[in-house]
């Protein structure tokens, strides 16, 4: 009898471990697929975002999710403006040929700049620019169409408070090379400026930059066709009340044909976790309906979720609670719940479940932020939170955010926590 009990315990333990590994493998496969090179960074070049949307829709169909559209389509189309870099990008300083993505980044609002040969670089030190008067004096020396090498350009952020996105508007047409040390961060822009600004690693630049050759082609698209992907599992008792899981599936795409931004952590990880939850709840319906919303346009300013809340497929008042998942690929040190103080009841439910079952090392609280798609909903009065993993890797908005760098630590535990939370909220069996 004793041996039989021990054998049963060992079997259950091994079965549980096997299930956890299967969950991780399934989620990892989705992350690898969504961040693969054929998705082109899930952006605006080579139909990367469209490929990702189609992949998500096919998964929804395979799970048997219901669609809100009359034609049983999961997609919600909309248009947006975006500046893109569709062709090969070249930058050469003196004799140094710089590698796109690793050695340099082009400011995402930049215009095209193409040189027949090499152009002279005017070297300027901006160290003394500390107010609008000194900045105006420097600006008066710029000649449109020329090339410039700007040292100590960080003073513009420090004293003039120019944002990374807004700084390009301060320059006329021309090529402006700004040396940086350490991490470079790219982003998406929905407008374009006269200048072409390049951030280059100081280690990749010659000691005394004198000349540059550039082939930077920008293409501004004023009405880019984009789409959100939405499906749901009807509730068994109260189908007009919804618990929503959301994530943005888009990323930055490509900077030219060479530099791809895979966005494995941001946010193939959150997208894959929503896909896993969609698969689970399609097999385990709850009392309330559970909706799954994958948004595009987040990196360009929460555009997909903003469009959705202004064109909802069901009344926003029917959303009981929304959980937005962004950058969840590594929860080594637990998770942070943004907007938790404003949703104390739901936070306490998750904290209680976690304390009882030991899923995550910690659930931190953080006040409201505007940096992910939850904000579009909360700004309209919907109760919701944004959850991200407290991991260990620094890769963010760069070419190094690849699937192999994601630990997946506790991602299965986060899934279990959200499943248990949903069951608790709806009073259903798991």
pLDDT in tens, 144-176: 999 999 999 999 988 988 888 889 999 999 999
Give the SS3 label for residue 169: helix
Alpha-carbon distance 236 to 334, whole Å?
Answer: 33
Residue 137 CB contacts under 8 Å (≥ 6 apart), including other chains: none
Q: Give the DSSP per-residue string, 387-402.
A: EEE--S----SSTT--
Query: 65 CB contacts (<8 Å, ≥6 apart)?
Result: 74, 231, 232, 233, 278, 282, 292
* Euclidean distance between CA atoms 222 and 416, whole angstroms: 42
Name which of 14-23, 28-37, 275-284 the model is least confident about: 14-23
Is residue 35 left, alpha or beta, with left meaning phi > 0 and alpha meaning psi from -120 to 50? alpha
* 25: helix, strand or coil: helix
CATH of domain 18-80+222-426: 3.40.630.10
Residue 426: pLDDT over 90: no
What pLDDT score was predicted for residue 9? 43
For residue 7, what pLDDT is reported? 46
Q: Quote the CA–CA distance of 213 and 268 in Å, as a whole number.
A: 36
- Cα–Cα dist 414/23, whole Å: 11
Q: How confident is the model at residue 8 (pLDDT cuts 50, 70, 90)?
A: very low
Q: Which class is domain 90-216? A: alpha beta
**List of residues 6+ apart from 152 with CB closer than 8 A:** 125, 126, 127
CA atoms within 13 A on the CB side of 181: 4
**Average pLDDT value over all residues in the chain:** 94
- pLDDT of 2 > 70? The answer is no
Listed in order, strand segments (DSSP E) in 326-425 are 335-338, 363-366, 384-389
CA atoms within 13 A of residue 162's CA, in its CB half-sphere = 19
- Structure token digits, residue 154: 């960080």
pLDDT 10s digits, 266-318: 999 999 999 999 999 999 999 999 999 999 999 999 999 999 999 999 999 99
Where do the structural domains in the chain lie, given as residue ranges?
A: 18-80+222-426, 90-216
Helix axes 269-283, 48-63, angle to 10 degrees: 20
Query: Alpha-carbon distance 406 to 96, whole Å?
Result: 33
Q: Are 285 and 233 in contact (CB under 8 A)?
A: yes
The residue behind tokens 């929860």 is: 331
Rounded distance between C-alpha atoms, residue 52 and residue 46, angstroms: 12
- Best CA proximity match to 188, nearest among 272, 87, 98, 105: 105
Whole-number pLDDT of residue 41: 98
Whether the pTM exceeds 0.75: the reply is yes
Tokens of 385: 């939170």
- Residue 193 CA neighbour count, 13 Å, CB half: 22
Q: What is the pLDDT of residues 44-75, one digit of tens each?
A: 999 999 999 999 999 999 999 999 977 779 99
Per the DSSP assignment, residues forming a β-bridge with 248 are 295
Please choose, from the candidates 160, 162, 222, the residue with its C-alpha nearest in 3D space to the C-alpha of residue 197: 162
């Amino acid at each position: 009898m004793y041996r039989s009990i021990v054998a049963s315990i060992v079997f259950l333990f091994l079965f549980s471990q096997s299930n956890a590994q299967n969950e991780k493998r399934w989620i990892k496969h989705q992350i690898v697929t969504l961040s693969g090179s054929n998705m082109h960074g899930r952006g605006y070049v080579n139909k990367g975002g469209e490929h990702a949307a189609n992949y998500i829709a096919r998964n929804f169909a395979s799970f048997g999710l219901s669609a809100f559209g009359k034609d049983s389509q999961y997609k919600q189309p909309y248009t947006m403006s975006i500046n893109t870099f569709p062709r090969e990008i070249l930058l050469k300083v003196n004799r140094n040929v710089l590698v796109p993505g690793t050695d340099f980044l082009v400011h995402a609002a930049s215009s095209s700049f193409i040189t027949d040969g090499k152009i002279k670089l005017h070297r300027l030190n901006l160290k003394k620019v500390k107010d609008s008067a000194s900045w105006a004096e420097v600006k008066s020396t710029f000649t449109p169409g020329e090339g410039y090498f700007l040292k100590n350009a960080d003073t513009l952020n420090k004293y003039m408070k120019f944002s990374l996105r807004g700084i390009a508007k301060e320059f006329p047409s021309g090529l402006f090379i700004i040396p940086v040390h350490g991490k470079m961060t790219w982003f998406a822009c929905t407008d374009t400026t006269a200048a072409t600004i390049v951030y280059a690693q100081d280690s990749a630049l010659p000691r005394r930059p004198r000349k540059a050759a550039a082939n930077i082609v920008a293409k501004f698209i004023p009405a880019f066709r984009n789409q959100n992907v939405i499906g749901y599992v009807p509730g068994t008792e109260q189908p007009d009340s919804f618990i929503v899981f959301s994530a943005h599936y888009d990323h930055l795409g490509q900077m030219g044909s060479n530099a791809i931004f895979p966005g494995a952590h941001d946010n193939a990880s959150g997208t894959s976790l929503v896909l896993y939850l969609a698969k689970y709840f399609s097999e385990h319906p709850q009392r309330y309906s559970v909706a799954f919303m994958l948004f595009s346009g987040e990196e360009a300013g929460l555009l997909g979720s903003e469009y959705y809340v202004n064109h909802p497929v069901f009344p926003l008042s029917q959303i009981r609670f929304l959980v937005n998942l962004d950058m969840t690929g590594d929860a080594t040190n637990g998770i942070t719940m943004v907007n938790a103080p404003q949703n104390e009841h739901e936070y306490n439910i998750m904290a209680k479940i976690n304390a009882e079952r030991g899923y995550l090392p910690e659930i931190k609280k953080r006040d409201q932020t505007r940096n992910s798609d939850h904000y579009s909903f909360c700004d309209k009065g919907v109760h919701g939170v944004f959850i991200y993993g407290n991991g260990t890797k620094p890769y963010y908005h760069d070419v190094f955010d690849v699937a192999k760098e994601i630990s997946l630590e506790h991602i299965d535990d986060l899934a279990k926590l959200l499943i248990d939370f949903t069951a608790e909220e709806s009073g259903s069996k798991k």
